[in-house]
Chains A and B, each alone.
Chain A
Amino acid sequence: MGDLATPEPSTGATARPASGQIPRRAAAGRPLPAIPLRRSFKERLGFWALLVVGAVVYAAALDVADVSLARLWDGLPRLAAWAARAWPPDLSELDTLLYRAAETLAMATVGVSFGAVIAVPLCLLAARNVSPAPWLYYPARFFLNTLRGIDAFVFALIFVAAVGLGPFAGVLGIALHTAGSIAKLWSEAIEAVEPGPSEAALMTGASRLKVVVHALLPDVMPSLTSILLYMWEFNVRASTVLGIVGAGGIGQELKNSVDLLLFDRVFTILLIILAMVTAIDSLSAWLRRRLT
């Protein structure tokens, strides 16, 4: 690089007086100063320094993450043996496993619906253009980011301790985490809406709440619904593992089977999860396409 590069019109380059090669408008008759074809030595040095720092950080990350190709290599025969034992899939307890899958689906659906209910007031507070209390904007943002920042898995872990084992703990975990995610995406969708129709409604003498209900919501409803469907689909996928912390569903069976090295059963469970997730993804995508 470097040979062809003319100084880029980036703000960084133009703002620095040191790289003053960007010509000002030439006075009449005077030739423009030549633009050097190579980047300056200082600029090239900076680029290589950045590259070296990046490489060092990445190497440190590989080391801390304990990456070892040798151990992967040693583990391969074990994986192969397990894979061989997974066939044929164990269908003897299919009805139990299907019930557990239904539990996962129910947990995700109910959890997302609870999350949506919590998200309604939160997203209104966190959207600048509709917030009834602008001084609550940053607290609301902070609160929903906290909910979003703690995974449903972590919430479920805590709720298992509080309300006991089973899908209800999963429902509560999904509800809290998803409330944050839905509120964030909803508030962004509301902030992105064009202000014109709401301004027109406001000028009829309507209160802000009436404007939101009559003019703004109909405009954003397709985006809000699409976001809700996406969160549902996402949580059906994510909640397959909630059973690992004891929060019910197919994940519980998965963990038990892996612990007991019943790989034919694990294989059946994975097939069920795959079928369920594919079906839900397609259904959700189909529904979202129909929104206009």
Chain B
Amino acid sequence: MTRPLLATAGLSKRYGTVQALVDAKIEVAAGEFVAVLGPSGSGKSTLFRCLTRLTEPDAGEIHLAGRPFHHLRGRKLAAARRDIGVVFQQFNLIRRRSALENVLSGRLGPTPLWRVAAGRFAPRDIARGRDALAAVGLADQFHQRADTLSGGQQQRVAIARAIAQESRILLADEPVASLDPATANSVLELIHGLTRSAGLGVVCTLHQPELAMRYADRVLTMDAGRLGVRPGASRG
């Protein structure tokens, strides 16, 4: 196996007396869909927040494509984050902005501040945003306000944001927990397709074993903050 896109070692986080994440080791290769399966409260979200460094882990290392990510600060942290697309359970779109403006968030990194302030993204970025929305099946909803979209559509916008961002890794925290089963399947289908078409490395937390089994290349389990391997869960 080539060098993993995302690798962690000894990742730990404690909240007060609760050890939320213990010594987590995880490796994800390009084009690989890794599911982290566990009940709510098992530490999946803590893992997600530590991997993104939205929450600082107490200890441990994170490497992106072999380069250390865990100690970066300021501009370097922001630059490294361009490689990480995120999808949240609660979508977390900018509610009062259009689908396209939300997707253009993915281009914030390389866009100069004055363009962001004026709302004038480069034509090339806008084209990329439109393509990304079309790729998730929302070609008719460019200018629809995000809070008027359905849950499934909002999650597609979030995925389109990651596509426009051209991230190499996608971290998804319970991306389908707020969706009905049919929509959940279509959203996971979409994410799974990106691992194949764009070689995205995906870490996706889930709580339904059947979804994990259907879409993941590898299933890890999470229990009381500890990652484990699900026996016989690899579909290769």
Contact with B along A225-237 (1 / 0, CB 8 A): 0000000000000
Give every chain A residue within 8 A of B54 (Cβ-Cβ). Answer: 199, 202-203
Q: Is B105 an interface residue when CB atoms closer than 8 A count as contact?
A: yes
What are the 10 closest A-B residue pairs judged by CB atoms, nearest first?
A205-B109, A205-B82, A206-B108, A196-B92, A200-B92, A205-B81, A203-B86, A197-B94, A210-B116, A205-B78
Contact with A along B86-114 (1 / 0, CB 8 A): 10101011111100000001111101010
What are 28 A-B interface contacts by the 8 Å CB criterion?
A197-B93, A199-B86, A199-B92, A200-B88, A200-B92, A200-B161, A201-B105, A202-B54, A203-B84, A203-B85, A203-B86, A204-B106, A205-B81, A205-B82, A205-B108, A206-B78, A206-B109, A206-B116, A207-B75, A211-B108, A213-B116, A213-B117, A214-B105, A214-B108, A215-B94, A218-B96, A219-B94, A222-B96
B96 to A214, Cβ gap below 8 A? no
A214 to B94, Cβ gap below 8 A? yes
Please report the C-alpha to C-alpha distance between residue A157 and residue B165 in the assembled complex, in whole angstroms: 56
Please report the C-alpha to C-alpha distance between residue A215 and residue B158 in the assembled complex, in whole angstroms: 14
Please report the C-alpha to C-alpha distance between residue A119 and residue B105 in the assembled complex, in whole angstroms: 27
Q: Is B79 an interface residue when CB atoms closer than 8 A count as contact?
A: yes
- CB proximity of B17 to chain A, nearest CB, Å: 20
Residue in contact with B105 in the complex, picked from A207, A215, A222, CB distance below 8 Å: A215
Give every chain B residue within 8 A of A196 (Cβ-Cβ). Answer: 88, 90, 92
List A residues 152-202 near B (Cβ within 8 Å).
Answer: 196-197, 199-202
Give every chain A residue within 8 A of B144 (Cβ-Cβ). Answer: none
Residues of chain B whose beta carbon lies under 8 Å from any beta carbon of chain A: 52, 54, 75, 78-82, 84-86, 88, 90, 92-97, 105-109, 111, 113, 116-117, 158, 161, 165
Q: Is A32 an interface residue when CB atoms closer than 8 A count as contact?
A: no
Contact status of A218 and B81, CB under 8 A, knowing A206-B108, A209-B113: no
Q: Is A221 an interface residue when CB atoms closer than 8 A count as contact?
A: yes
A213 to B113, Cβ gap below 8 A? yes
- CB proximity of A31 to chain B, nearest CB, Å: 34
Please report the C-alpha to C-alpha distance between residue A221 and residue B107 in the assembled complex, in whole angstroms: 22
Contact status of A200 and B86, CB under 8 A, knowing A206-B108, A214-B94, A221-B96: yes
B93 to A219, Cβ gap below 8 A? no
Please report the C-alpha to C-alpha distance between residue A211 and residue B84 in the assembled complex, in whole angstroms: 16
Give every chain B residue within 8 A of A218 (Cβ-Cβ). Answer: 94, 96-97
Give every chain B residue within 8 A of A206 (Cβ-Cβ). Answer: 78, 105, 108-109, 116
B96 to A219, Cβ gap below 8 A? yes
A204 to B105, Cβ gap below 8 A? yes
- CB proximity of B145 to chain A, nearest CB, Å: 10
Give every chain B residue within 8 A of A204 (Cβ-Cβ). Answer: 81-82, 85, 105-109, 161, 165
Please report the C-alpha to C-alpha distance between residue A205 and residue B52 in the assembled complex, in whole angstroms: 11
Q: Which residue of B lies closest to A207 (CB)?
A: B78
Q: Which residue of B lies closest to A221 (CB)?
A: B96
